[in-house]
């Protein structure tokens, strides 16, 4: 960078500030407000649910075909690791659903103030986790 004669680099406090201030582009360094967390989780859960669709359809078909395949699909879902996977999907589904309802509410101008938007974001997180825990208790 060319500097004007007599001006020491970064001698201007404003310029020093410009040079050293962080450019918040690193997602891991940004402290995201809670509505942003809910938003990105909405997206991640949607993509994850899309990716597991063929597995869910295969399981559904298996469970309906015959008594034997019903038992097979039942014992498959009884495996601890599979149960954990199912609970993660259930959480993803419930989060996506609750965040979606919040979206519909903001479409009709409900909860668009900063305070209520933050509160409803916490509510989305809390309701989906509590419902997932209830289902976890029921299937375990």
Partner 1 sequence: MVNRAVTGAHYGLRDWLAQRVTAVVMLLYTLLIVGLLLATPTIDHDTWRGLFAPLWMKLATLLCLLSLYFHAWVGMRNIFMDYIKHGGVRLALYAVVIAALIAYAGWSAQILWSI
Residues in 2-41 at the binding interface with partner 1, rule: CB under 8 A:
none
Query: Is 100 a residue that touches partner 1 (CB under 8 A)?
Result: yes
d(CA 47, CA 42): 9
Q: Which CB atom, from 65 or from 75, has the smaller least distance to partner 1? A: 65
Q: What percent helix, strand, coil does the chain show, rounded to 5?
A: 75, 0, 25
Query: Is 139 a residue that touches partner 1 (CB under 8 A)?
Result: no
Query: Do the Cβ atoms of 136 and 87 come closer than 8 Å?
Result: yes
Give the binding range for partner 1 (CB under 8 A) out of 9-17, 29-37, 64-72, 110-118.
Answer: 64-72
Q: Which CB atom, from 19 or from 57, has the smaller least distance to partner 1? A: 57
| Residue 49, number of CB atoms within 10 A of its CB | 14
DSSP, collapsed to helix, strand or coil, labels residue 119 as helix
Q: Which of 9, 15, 17, 43 binds partner 1 (CB under 8 A)?
A: 43
Please state, in angstroms and as integers, the Cα–Cα distance from residue 88 to each residue in 54, 95, 129, following that order. 17, 10, 10
Query: Is 66 a residue that touches partner 1 (CB under 8 A)?
Result: yes
Residues in 106-125 at the binding interface with partner 1, rule: CB under 8 A:
107
Q: What is the dihedral of CA 137, 128, 27, 23, to 10 degrees?
A: -140
- Interacting residue ranges for partner 1, rule: CB under 8 A: 43, 46-47, 49-50, 53-54, 57, 60-61, 63-67, 70-71, 97, 100-101, 103-104, 107
């Amino acid at each position: 960078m060319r500097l004007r004669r007599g001006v020491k680099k970064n001698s201007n406090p404003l310029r020093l500030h410009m040079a050293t201030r962080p450019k918040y582009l690193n997602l891991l360094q940004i402290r995201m407000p809670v509505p942003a967390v809910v938003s990105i989780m909405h997206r991640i859960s949607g993509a994850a649910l899309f990716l597991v669709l063929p597995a869910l359809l295969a399981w559904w078909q298996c469970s309906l075909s015959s008594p034997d395949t019903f038992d097979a699909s039942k014992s498959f879902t009884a495996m601890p690791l599979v149960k954990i996977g199912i609970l993660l999907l259930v959480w993803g589904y419930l989060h996506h659903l609750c965040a979606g309802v919040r979206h519909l509410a903001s479409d009709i101008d409900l909860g668009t103030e900063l305070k209520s938007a933050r509160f409803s974001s916490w509510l989305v997180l809390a309701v989906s986790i509590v419902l997932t825990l209830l289902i976890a208790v029921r299937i375990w």
